[in-house]
């Protein structure tokens, strides 16, 4: 009987498992293909997207008798890309602007006594209802246009006052292009694909019960779990950093951005622990992952439609992550501006880990 | 000198269901203990506790003079486990599987060829496990269980799925491990295998050990030795079963064989399965 081997250090055991996971990942053609294809496709999509802002704005209007006036006026301004849609009431106009119905991005709510007030020389107020991405210049142009209309009716300048109602976060002067809007969505998609890869690897360990073979060696269950977290987070983080380098998005506040991405990688790793615990094969892993993927993607998609995000979206764990990436990459936010988003992501990551590790631990014990 | 394994009053429940209820057993170094029982009898749960996968609700476990759960990792460094499930990494080769598990024991750069040759896998060692047959995977798992020169081997159905030649090779490996000084706990449904390999067998039923002794002693205590004699008689076949423990058995046998048309004489003894059924009232496949 030979002398028993020295029990290796925890670090050495974890490194051995991570190394094995990397080997298994590179040999799983499906997940490897998805990862590489995803990365290439996302970079291509990003560079193909327009890097300009669409300047055509559809105007909605409400108020007795003003539609004809506006139609005549905008007809003369076709080159400026103005279009008018009439609404029956102020409420339907606000809803249309808020939800983007008929592509209405800006509304003018005239009071019913507008003509009478202007004709009598009485002050009157017109409300400009606009979504966040409508440029301030356009709002000013609309105000000038209404003043001109009032001048045409009364024959002299009249005290028409304007009240602005901005729906969503006001990004006056900071509109982002479609390409920029897609940036956090693409980063997020890469993270989610890696979540799928890790969940698949975990499901395979559970299903084949190789995890049982590992934890009857000097490797503890905590070593196994730590190795999965390290591997999963590294995989996701590495891929998303590659993506951001490829789309040149690490120029501003790189450390802050990398912090967001690291937290995001840890968060999706925690979700993968849960998905991997319940999955049995690729289809069930995909199905289980979708339960997490769909709600988690809502904040990223809502960026494509500014002003459309309801307040409940802010309760989704990934909201802080997406918002943080947007504010850093598109608006140059710094550490101080990002603290609340960082706190939100860190908090949700901790919650996700408590849930994910608990689920996986229970699953292993049940094998 | 400690026994390799000392278990006292071990208990474990899954919720309200008591899976192991007061199991006590000792296994000496170099001894092969057959652990027999039907599905759900508590064998796997007991093995899971002995290998550190489960914590007992009550009772004590001492392995190689160390206690569980306090010294579980130190114990696991000195045991080898071969599972019933073929839990090997399919995307890795046989050699890579062995290397990965060896590293978990802190063993680096080990020459696995002697092990692989011993179980007839040397020619396929660098092929991916996904291309292995069930029997090859089983042999790889046996090899894996021995890479750390374990002082205790836990083998769950080690010859399951093997062809007779491979099964014989694995049994020879088990014997040689015991001769090397390793204690072996062998869980099997194959009564012949348990009979051939085990120094002692433990019958486990409903979480308790129903009997624990050498196969020979169990047969002597619970079985009946007999001689079955068949002979031709008037166009038919006559069969007599004479119990060897009966008074006058010798005379009966002499008379039975001193006839014309004697066909066959067989000595018979109770099988472990018969004894298990007698002791527990249920079969091993239940």
In a mutagenesis test of the B interface, which of A11, A22, A217 is the best target, namely the one with the most B β-carbons within 10 Å? Answer: A217
Q: CA B203 to CA B197: how far, in whole Å?
A: 15
Residue the block writes with tokens 């084949």:
A208
Determine the pLDDT at residue B208.
92
As a whole number, mean pLDDT of residues B46-57 equals: 91
Instruction: Choose the most confident range, by mean pLDDT, from A50-54, A133-137, B236-240.
Output: B236-240
**pLDDT score, position B20:** 93
For residue A174, give the DSSP letter: -
Grade residue A191 by pLDDT with cuts at 50, 70 and 90.
confident
Count of CA atoms in the C-beta half-sphere (13 A) of B214:
5
User: A169 at the B interface (CB within 8 A)?
Assistant: no
Of A6, A27, A216, the CB nearest to B52: A216
CATH 3.40.1710.10 maps onto chain A at 57-167
Structure tokens at A364: 């292993």
* Interface contact flag, A218 B144, Cβ < 8 Å: no
The dihedral of CA B96, A2, B80, A226: what is its sign?
negative
Q: In this complex, is the C-beta atom of B53 within 8 Å of any C-beta atom belonging to chain A?
A: yes
pLDDT of A67 strictly over 70: no
Q: Region A281-291: what's the mean pLDDT? A: 79
Question: What's the mean pLDDT in B15-40?
Answer: 91
* pLDDT tier at A268, thresholds 50, 70, 90: confident
- The band of A71, judged by pLDDT with boundaries at 50, 70 and 90, is low
Give the pLDDT of residue A223.
93
Instruction: Compute the distance between CA of residue A105 and CA of residue A108 in angstroms, rounded to an integer.
Output: 11
The tokens 């339960």 sit on which residue? A291
Give the pLDDT confidence score for residue B12 in this predicted structure: 94
Token readout for B97 is 């599987």
B104 has a chain A CB within 8 A of its CB: yes
In the prediction, which pLDDT does A347 show? 94
pLDDT at residue number B100: 95
ipTM summary value:
0.81
Whether residue B128 has pLDDT greater than 90: yes
Q: Terminus-to-terminus CA distance in chain B, angstroms?
A: 39
pLDDT tens, position by position, B60-113: 999 999 998 889 999 999 999 998 888 999 989 999 999 999 999 998 888 889
Which chain B residues are Cβ-neighbours of A218 within 8 angstroms? 73, 76-77, 104-106
CB count in 10 Å sphere of residue A310: 10
Q: What is the mean pLDDT of chain B?
A: 87
Which chain B residues are within 8 Å of A216, Cβ to Cβ? 51-53, 76, 79, 81
3-state secondary structure chain B: CCCCEEEEEEEEEECCEEEEEEEEEEECCCCEEEEECCCCCCHHHHHHHHCCCCCCCEEEEEECCEEECCCHHHHHCCEEEECCCCCCCCCCEHHHHHHHHHHHCCCCCCCCHHHHHHCCCHHHCCCEHHHCCHHHHHHHHHHHHCCCCCCEEEEECCCCCCCHHHHHHHHHHHHHHHHHCCEEEEECCCHHHHHHHCCEEEEEECCEEEEEECHHHHHHHHCCCEEEEEEEECCEEEEEEEECCCCCHHHHHHHHHCCCCEEEEEEECCCHHHHHHHHHCCCCCC
Asked if the Cβ–Cβ distance from A16 to B105 is below 8 Å, we say no
Q: What is the CA radius of gyration of chain B?
A: 23
Kindly report, residue by residue over A302-324, the tens digit of the pLDDT: 766 655 556 788 888 888 888 88
Cα B29 to Cα B1: distance, rounded to the nearest angstrom: 10
Instruction: Give the Cα separation of B139 and B131 in Å (integer).
Output: 14
Q: Give pLDDT, residue A172.
A: 46
Of B85, B90, B101, the CB nearest to A217: B101
Which band of pLDDT confidence, cut at 50, 70 and 90, is reported for residue A136?
Answer: low
Three-state secondary-structure class, residue A119? helix
Residue B90 sits at the chain A interface (C-beta within 8 Å):
yes
In this prediction, residue A318 carries a pLDDT of 86
CA distance B156 to A73: 88
- Judged by DSSP in three states, A281 sits in coil
In this predicted structure, what is the pLDDT of residue B246? 78
Nearest Cα residue to B160 out of B121, B119, B188: B188
Q: Among all chains, which residue has been given the structure tokens 């002499």? A: B254
Among A3, A5, A204, the strongest candidate for a mutation testing the B interface, having the largest count of B CBs within 10 A, is A5
A79 pLDDT more than 50: no
Whole-angstrom distance, CA of residue A288 vs CA of residue A271: 10
CATH topology of domain A57-167: abc type-2 transporter like fold (3.40.1710)
pLDDT in tens, B153-195: 999 988 877 888 888 888 888 999 999 999 999 998 788 888 8
- Strand order of the β-sheet with B208-213 is B79-82, B152-156, B183-187, B32-36, B200-205, B208-213
pLDDT of B94 reads: 93
Size of interface A-B (CB pairs under 8 A): 90
Q: Tell me the sheet residues that pair with A166.
A: A130
Of A6, A212, A214, the CB nearest to B104: A214
Pairing of strands B58-63, B5-14: antiparallel
SS3 A331: helix
pLDDT at A306: 55
Is residue A135 classed as helix, strand or coil in its secondary structure? Answer: coil
Q: How many CA atoms lie within 13 A of A139 on its CB side?
A: 22
Compute the average pLDDT of residues A283-303.
Answer: 80
């Amino acid at each position: 009987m030979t002398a028993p081997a020295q029990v290796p250090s925890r670090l050495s055991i974890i490194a051995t498992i991570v190394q094995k996971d990397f080997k298994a990942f590179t040999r799983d053609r499906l997940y490897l293909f998805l990862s590489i294809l995803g990365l290439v496709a996302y970079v291509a999509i990003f560079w193909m997207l327009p890097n300009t802002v669409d300047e055509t704005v559809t105007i909605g209007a409400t108020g007795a008798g003003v539609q004809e006036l506006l139609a005549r006026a905008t007809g003369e301004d076709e080159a400026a890309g103005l279009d008018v849609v009439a609404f029956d009431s102020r409420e339907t106009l606000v809803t249309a602007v808020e939800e983007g119905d008929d592509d209405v991005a800006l509304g003018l709510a005239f009071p019913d006594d507008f003509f009478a007030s202007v004709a009598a020389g009485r002050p009157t107020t017109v409300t400009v209802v606009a979504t966040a991405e409508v440029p301030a210049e356009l709002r000013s142009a609309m105000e000038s246009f209404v003043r001109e209309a009032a001048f045409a009716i009364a024959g002299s300048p009249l005290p028409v006052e304007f009240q602005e109602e901005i729906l969503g976060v006001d990004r006056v002067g900071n509109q982002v292009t479609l390409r920029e809007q897609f940036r956090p969505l693409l980063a997020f998609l890469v993270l989610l694909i890696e979540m799928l890869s890790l969940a698949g690897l975990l499901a395979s360990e559970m299903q084949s019960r190789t995890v049982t073979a590992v934890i009857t060696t000097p490797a503890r269950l905590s070593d196994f779990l730590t190795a999965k977290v390290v591997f999963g987070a590294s995989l996701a983080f590495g891929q998303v950093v590659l993506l951001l380098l490829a789309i040149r998005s690490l120029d501003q506040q790189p450390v802050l951005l990398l912090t967001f991405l690291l937290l995001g990688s840890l968060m999706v790793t925690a979700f993968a622990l849960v998905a991997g615990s319940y999955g049995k094969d690729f289809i069930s892993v995909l199905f289980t992952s979708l339960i997490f993927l769909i709600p988690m993607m809502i904040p990223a998609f809502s960026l494509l439609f500014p002003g459309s995000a309801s307040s409940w979206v802010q309760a989704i764990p990934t909201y802080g992550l997406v918002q943080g990436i947007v504010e850093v990459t598109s608006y140059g936010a710094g550490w101080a501006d990002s603290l609340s988003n960082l706190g939100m992501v860190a908090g949700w990551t901790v919650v996700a880990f408590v849930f994910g590790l608990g689920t996986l631990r229970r699953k292993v014990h049940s094998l | 000198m400690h026994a390799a394994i000392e278990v006292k009053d071990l208990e474990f429940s899954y919720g309200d269901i008591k899976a192991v209820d007061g199991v006590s057993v000792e296994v000496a170094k170099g001894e092969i203990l057959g652990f027999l029982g039907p599905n759900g009898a508590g064998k796997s749960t007991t093995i899971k506790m002995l290998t550190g996968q489960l914590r007992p609700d009550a009772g004590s476990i001492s392995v190689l003079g160390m206690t569980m759960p306090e010294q579980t990792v130190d114990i696991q460094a000195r045991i080898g486990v071969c599972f019933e499930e073929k839990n090997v990494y399919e995307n890795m080769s046989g050699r890579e599987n062995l290397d990965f598990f060896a590293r978990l024991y802190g063993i680096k750069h080990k020459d696995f060829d002697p092990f692989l040759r011993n179980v007839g896998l040397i020619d396929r060692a660098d092929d991916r496990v996904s291309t292995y047959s069930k029997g090859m995977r089983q042999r790889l798992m046996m090899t894996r269980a021995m890479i750390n020169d374990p002082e205790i081997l836990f083998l769950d159905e080690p010859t399951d799925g093997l062809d007779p030649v491979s099964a014989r090779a694995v049994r020879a490996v088990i014997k040689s491990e015991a001769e090397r000084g390793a204690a072996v706990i062998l869980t099997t449904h194959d009564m012949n295998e348990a009979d051939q390999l085990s120094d002692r067998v433990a019958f486990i039923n409903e979480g308790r050990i129903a009997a624990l002794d050498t196969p020979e002693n169990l047969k002597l205590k619970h079985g009946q030795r007999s001689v079955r004699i068949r002979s031709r008689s008037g166009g038919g076949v006559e069969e007599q079963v004479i119990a060897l423990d009966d008074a006058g058995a010798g005379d009966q046998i002499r008379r039975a064989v001193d006839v014309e048309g004697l066909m066959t004489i067989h000595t018979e003894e109770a099988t472990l399965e018969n004894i298990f059924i007698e002791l527990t009232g249920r079969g091993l496949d239940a």
